A and B are shown apart, each in its own frame.
Chain A
């Protein structure tokens, strides 16, 4: 009875996987072409990329997975917001807000035992991320100002505030470099696997991915969040859902996740704050979230994949003499391919619909 409809359903369900594969394929072809055109040996370059990403346990745990932590957390921040129709482009700024607050409390409370300081750092940083998101949230809910612009602008504020902090109030006590003092051992995240640089932040990120997945799937709030994202009018009129409240909670939670990413970076990887701490995690997060189809578990998988790309970049630079900027270029290509493939999927489904009109056909 419902063959055309179920076909479209299957298309929608497996389309996500197809889109991801198509995006990777297109990216691969274009990247190889660009490497050849640039005078590099693509075999050597891609070999180095793979070795750098997954070539050894050391590379995989200490580089790839470590870099995936901020990507997963900011990716979750973006995916959660987008599911509710909140276009938070400000994960970058929220990450920096978290990093600033985390470093500050970590330095101030570094004398306390680790089981107090570390949670304190994470909580304060998440709060700071949420506070950073509060400004665009209130501007949207109270004044009706679109959050796309306000979150981007808040990114600039955060980035320049970091510059001020590390040149001024938070500068290291020697006063030489524009960075903070290093965090005391008590304020650093414990290792997840001893002997590697992988810290517990990775486990926290993955667990948060699972938790968000369960929240969206099973809870009343998660269901309401999806309803508000899908159809604000139906959510309000049929669901009697307070859309503003859902947006408020979601926006702040999204900011908190991005702020947590900042804390994980300073407390787990760099142990200090400096300008350019993030090579744009908060923006890459948008690609991660979209490529993952806004699914939390997908974000974890895609975050690890992008972490591998980042990890491979260093090896490409060392072994094949290719500037790391190439990898940024490849990431940008992935984003473009995702957008193109996503539109392609939409087009595919739409033409099926127009030709198939399953709405009519399903009742024969």
Chain B
């Protein structure tokens, strides 16, 4: 098992042969072959809709393939149920989190553990010590006694990963694990993954960010339109060739941020302090101004006051102390698309209407003007390239990228003054992420095109440092509820990244 040497000596730990899966007329997987070996970190990349998630579903027993063979360590297996995948030694970390919100971290992990005591008592002590050991070993630290619903999305993902690692799978499958981590944490996390691989496991992961793929993966398999277009060692690739493989054409280098000409003041926060969901001070004495025509970036790891700052800026909550001046309409792109931005069971028109119930154009007294809302939704879908056949489909039926395009378009309809965006490109592929970023930059510079119209201001609150660096005119870091300004001459990945990560024993707290 250990150090068996050359790949050729042992069969691949995961081998997929000619996997085909069709959903009605749509072919999601069109004869996919994949080989992954123990001891390697293998990245599965491709655009949204390329078939990555379906392929992961096949591997984790959630999606049944129509045709094809799956071999684990050389032996053919049938993965009809998630339990079959577990039995075969495949551990899946889902993109959509699967924790029980009302239980503690410890209880959530213990739920998945088979106990010797006839299932009557969960072995909490045992789970706690192993969880501590795993946390130390992997650097994924989390308080075992906190109730999950009080954790941020990023913290929940750490728990999700720990929960799967707890079962000690031989093949670890991760769907976009880095999207909520700070740069330093990503580095650490990658070394965790490499450590897990070097112990003889296979680490299969879906990644979107090209530099992350190149940094962590030993081998890369690129999917496009349900087929494997390339599979090879990552050393032979660079970011340009990888991007071309993923989207089938060269990506235009993005335009550098044009210097902004900030206009009138839009937002003023003075001495703002607010409590978080646990009653703790989540924001402490925050001062911030935002002007028309500028993008203000707030970098930071989720759970440091991001949620509270965003809700206050969006006008959805009031602070405990301090004064807030906001324009009368504010567009808001929340972090949780299907939880906060959209009602999954509403159709697209209803989801657009949700943000516009106060807008006089779409009301007639107490009535909503559904006709206008429907045509506005159709226009919005055209304008922002929302890929759906009609506005009558439900929000949950769209891919993440299309959901986000709908949200961005809707929030632009809501306000031409101020747009607050939290992690606006999380979970999106390169092209969709590019689209959203371009949209944000374009609107903040829109005075160039539209005469007389003052451009709106934009605040991007994100745990994705690259996104903040790329988009922002001014940068802040939000750490432990304090907003720290980043000087113009220190806008480097290293400096801002170091500011983002709060170290234990910080004397200032």
Contacts and interface: CB of A to CB of B under 8 A. Distances in A.
Nearest to B48: A363
A138 interface: no
Chain B at the A interface: mostly helix, strand, loop or mixed? loop
B388 interface: yes
Contact of A363 (B363, B367, B402): B402
A321 B23 CA distance: 56
A360 to B, nearest CB: 6
A224 B26 CA distance: 36
Interface in A316-364: 354-364
A236 interface: yes
A164 interface: no
A3 B389 CA distance: 11
Given A357-B54, A360-B54, A362-B399, A239 B355 contact: yes
A227 B394 contact: no
Interface in A170-211: none
B86 interface: no
Contact of A3 (B26, B57, B366, B398): B26
B354 A227 contact: yes
Contacts of A224: 357
Contact of A364 (B26, B62, B367): B26
Nearest to A240: B316
A85 to B, nearest CB: 12
Interface residues of A, number: 38
B399 to A, nearest CB: 4
Nearest to A7: B24
A1 B368 CA distance: 30
B393 interface: yes
Interface string B445-483: 000000000000000000000000000000000000000
Interface residues of B, number: 52
A362 B339 contact: no
Given A3-B24, A237-B316, A357 B394 contact: no
B195 interface: no
A253 B314 CA distance: 31
B366 A357 contact: no
B226 to A, nearest CB: 8
A198 B468 CA distance: 70
Contacts of B31: none
Contacts of A234: 339-343, 354
A363 B49 contact: yes
Nearest to A228: B343
A3 B24 CA distance: 6
Contacts of B397: 2, 5, 8, 358-359, 362
A230 B23 contact: no
Interface string B20-57: 00011110100000000000000000001101011001
A114 interface: no
A220 interface: yes
Interface of A: 1-9, 218-221, 223-224, 227, 230-231, 233-241, 354-364
25 contacts: A1-B389, A2-B388, A3-B25, A3-B26, A4-B26, A218-B368, A219-B368, A220-B357, A220-B368, A223-B368, A227-B343, A237-B332, A238-B342, A239-B357, A355-B64, A357-B28, A359-B396, A359-B398, A360-B51, A361-B26, A362-B26, A362-B387, A363-B387, A364-B49, A364-B225
Given A234-B340, A354-B62, A358-B397, 11 more contacts: A9-B393, A9-B394, A219-B367, A220-B363, A223-B368, A233-B336, A233-B339, A237-B332, A237-B341, A238-B354, A240-B316
